């Protein structure tokens, strides 16, 4: 019986250590209120934000060319880039995405 308890304690310690390591490698801080990521806390997070803003700037330039095909492509590119960035931010946010109500969470 004691070996089973010892094994469970070791597994719990490993799980806690893995969680602490994942939080130490987080790229974004969680928002204090609401759902989502806050500001980046590591250089990788700032790089994701910079690349996203560059892609959005490219979409704006493409949209302003005036042709119907270019505008459709700009909207499609915006949706594709946003669909790519959101899961990256969700995965690399400390504690994950969950609804937060301030300091109590």
Mean pLDDT of 10-36: 79
Alpha-carbon span 84 to 61, nearest angstrom:
20
Counting the structural domains of the chain, the total is 1
Q: Which domain holds residue 46?
A: 2-101
pTM: 0.73
- DSSP string of the chain, one letter each residue: -HHHHHHHHHHHHHHHHHHHHHHHT-SEEEPSEESSEEEE-SHHHHHHHHHHHHHHHHHHHHHTT--HHHHHHHHHHHHHHHHHHHHHHHHTBTT-S--EESTT-
Q: Residue 16: pLDDT above 80? A: no
Give the whole-number percent of the chain exceeding pLDDT 70. Answer: 90
């Amino acid at each position: 019986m004691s070996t089973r308890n010892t094994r469970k304690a070791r597994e719990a310690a490993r799980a806690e250590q893995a969680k602490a390591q994942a939080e130490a490698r987080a790229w974004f801080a969680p928002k204090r209120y609401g759902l989502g990521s806050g500001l980046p806390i590591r250089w990788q997070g700032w790089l994701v934000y910079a690349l996203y803003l560059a892609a959005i700037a490219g979409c704006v330039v493409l949209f302003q060319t005036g042709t119907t095909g270019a505008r459709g492509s700009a909207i499609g590119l915006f949706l594709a880039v946003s669909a790519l960035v959101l899961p990256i931010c969700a995965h690399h946010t400390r504690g994950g995405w969950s609804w937060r109500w301030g300091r109590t969470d």
